[in-house]
Structures are given as C-alpha cells and as structure tokens.
Amino acid sequence: MHINFKKSDGPFVHDPSLTEAFEALPAHAVSERSIKAVVVGGGTGAPVSIRTLLSMGIETSCVVAMADDGGSSGILRDEAGASTPGDVRKCLSAMAACPTDAFTQAFRLRFTFAENHTLGNLMLSALEQTTGSFPTAIKTCAQLLHARGNVYPSTLERVTLLARNNEGRLLRGQALASHSRSALNTVSLESPDTLQAYEPALDALRSANLIVLGPGSLFTSIIANLLVPGVVDAIRASSAYVVFVCSLADIQGETRGMSVLEHVEALLRFGLEGRLNWVIVHTPHHEKTPVVWDDTQQEALREKGISVCARRLIDDALPTWHDPRLLREAFEEVLRACHLQPTLK
C-alpha cells in the first residue's frame, strides 16, 4: 500500500520527528544479551538517540518528560484532560519496527485542518479515555507499531514547568519557557497532586547498562525528567554509564548563548554531580550558530572526571540534526571505551 502525502500547504503533513536519513538507518535485531539502554528526554531529540541505538542492536527504552503544554499536546491536555501525548508519540514512532509501514506513517500524520493534531496524539488520548490508563494507551499503540522498546512517562501526574531565565523573568509552562528571550537559569515542576515518578520508568533506569541524556532541549526535555522525585535517585542507584549528547545548534531560547560546558554544569546542578560519565559533542567548523565548544571546555570537563567524545556530527543536509551514521560512530567509540559491546543478530 502506498500513501501519497500532500505537501505542507494541504490538509495533511508528514510529522518531521524522524527524518528520511534516520528512516534509512539499518537496524539490527536485538539480542537477549544486548546492552540495556534508556534514553532520557523528549521532543525531537530523544528519537535521534533511540533510532541510533536500535540500529546498533541495543535494547532501548525511553523515559519521557510530561510537561509539554504547547500545540496539539497542549490542546488535548487543556480541553480533553488528557495526559501529554506528543513526546510519547515521537518516541513510539522512533521505535516502530518499520518506519515506512503505512500505519507508522499514518500514526505520524498531522492534520493541519484540525488544530494541527497528529493521528498518534489523538489515538493516545482516545485510548487513555477508553481504557482509563495512559500506560495502557501507550502499550496498545506500541503493539500496533510493533515497537522494539518501551516508552515510559517519567510521571503520570499533571505537571507544569516553571522557569526563571537569566533576565530574572518567571515563565510558566514548557512552551513559554522553551522560547525564552534568554537562557534559563532555574526550572521546577508544579503539580496539583503529590508529584510521584512512574515506577516502571524508575525500574528501567535502575536496571540499565547505559543511560543516554538527549539530544534535545536541555531544560524542558531532559532536566524536566530529572525534576521528578526518584528519577535522579534511580540514575544514581544504577550501574549504568551516563552519557549526555549535547545539541548541535545554538538556536533554542532556553539555552541560547550557553556553551557545552554550561550545558553540562546545568545537568550537574540538577542532580548529576559525580554521576555523568561521558559527553558526546559536535566539533563545529563553519556552522553559523553552533553550540560553543573549545579545548578549554574539554579540559574543564576532564577535570570534573567526565570523558569527552568530540567529533563532527552534523548532517550537512539538515544542519540542526545529527547525522545518524556519525552519531552511531560516536556511540560506538563510547561503548568501546566503557567495554560495552552490543551482541547483534
């Protein structure tokens, strides 16, 4: 069955959470003896790591932030009382057995005539209502997509992200915080009920061999997970190597002007002091807006006991995205250094 998607000015658009480059990345079957990896993040960043790790034959799960209140997710959350589906949908799509399968592509379709909702968001919200359980909704969609890993919300509570930027301005909500006029300084989560982590997410973190943070929005996707009580404790309780994949481009309001070192220092402030093992960073050449990186920062990270994998990672055709093959080479370098080798079928 072939679907001819209309262009972006038509009623349907193809959700760009996965690029054709990532869809073309070959995937190995996962062995029972494979490394257990957990990606922590959300947005468009976590799927990058998910697809890359799966292509290496690594057993991969994901812990996803639940603070998104913009776009389709925000409408479903505010008007239907649904859990935030958007980041979960993107990660489920990344784990689909066949990215070019008709249902997988339909799951990612965005309806421009219907408040820009995606079919996946609507399905997750509808299933949550009919089953009374967001985790059950996720599992049902995972089965339909033949997902090769588990997606866990970091919490099932209704949370709101609160942020203060370097100008001292208080920003309420993930959507507003992510477009801050200056880099964020502090963030926290607010919930009408006692904020609790989703226990299966904690179990996945505790049993992991490898925990990958990002790439993606530092405060609103990655740190938003660390703010959930129990998440940092689970990371600290695990024996996993913890790896941070820094973003490529300095284009996000929430981190605008921040260097790679400042990204790392923010992670350390929010609970990962002494627990971050590796940083994967792009070494910029002629890009207009790279995240600042230099030898001085590399030495500062090493003084903190953090190893660095610095190499060119950018996709020349999509300059704000990681090249999937180059990122896979970076992960392979880190795994070799950590004496972790995936077993491929």
CATH of the domain at 180: 3.40.50.10680
Which one is predicted more confidently, 24 or 224? 224
Contact 220, 174 (CB under 8 A): yes
Looking at residue 74, its pLDDT comes to 79
What are 173's two structure tokens?
């909500």
Q: What is the pLDDT of residues 226-239, one digit of tens each?
A: 999 999 999 999 99
Residues in the chain: 345
The reply to whether 160 and 251 lie within a common domain is yes
Residues 25-46 have a mean pLDDT of 75
Domain count across the chain: 2
SS3 240: coil
Looking at residue 81, its pLDDT comes to 87
Q: What is the pLDDT of residues 268-301, one digit of tens each?
A: 999 999 999 999 999 988 788 999 999 999 999 9
Which one is predicted more confidently, 286 or 146? 146
Instruction: Say whether pLDDT at 245 is over 70.
Output: yes
Residue 8 included in any domain: no
Question: Which of 113, 131, 148 marks a domain boundary?
Answer: 148
284 cis-preceded (ω within 30 degrees of 0): no
Task: Count other C-beta atoms under 10 Å from residue 274's C-beta.
Answer: 10
The reply to whether 87 and 46 lie within a common domain is no
Q: What is the pLDDT of residues 328-340, one digit of tens each?
A: 999 999 999 999 8
Residue 124 included in any domain: yes
The reply to whether 117 and 265 lie within a common domain is no
Distances (CA, A) of 340 to 13, 85, 164, 286: 40, 33, 39, 34
Which one is predicted more confidently, 258 or 19? 258
Residue 186: phi and psi, rounded to 5, are -135, 150
The reply to whether 198 and 94 lie within a common domain is no
Query: Domain of 244?
Result: 19-66+154-337
State the chain's mean pLDDT as an integer: 90
Contact 251, 278 (CB under 8 A): no
Which one is predicted more confidently, 71 or 188? 188
The reply to whether 98 and 199 lie within a common domain is no
Q: Global pTM?
A: 0.91
Looking at residue 76, its pLDDT comes to 86
Contacts 24+ apart (CB under 8 A), 311-319: 311/282, 311/283, 312/282, 312/283, 312/285, 313/248, 313/280, 313/281, 313/282, 314/248, 314/282, 314/287, 315/19, 315/21, 317/21, 318/19, 318/21, 319/248, 319/249, 319/287
Residue 27 confidence class, pLDDT cut points 50, 70, 90: low
What are 258's two structure tokens?
């921040």
3-state SS track over 69-108: CCHHHHHHHHHHCCCCCHHHHHHHHHHCCCCCCHHHHHHC
DSSP state of 254: G
Instruction: Let me know if 192 is exposed, middle or buried by CB neighbors in 10 A (0-12, 13-18, 19+).
Output: exposed
Question: Which of 108, 130, 148 marks a domain boundary?
Answer: 148
Lowest-confidence pick of 38-52, 73-87, 173-187, 249-263: 73-87
Question: Which of 95, 118, 148 marks a domain boundary?
Answer: 148
Residue 108 included in any domain: yes
The reply to whether 243 and 291 lie within a common domain is yes
The reply to whether 307 and 229 lie within a common domain is yes
Residues 6 or more apart whose CB falls under 8 angstroms from that of 137 comprise 123, 124, 125, 126, 127, 128, 131
The reply to whether 181 and 301 lie within a common domain is yes
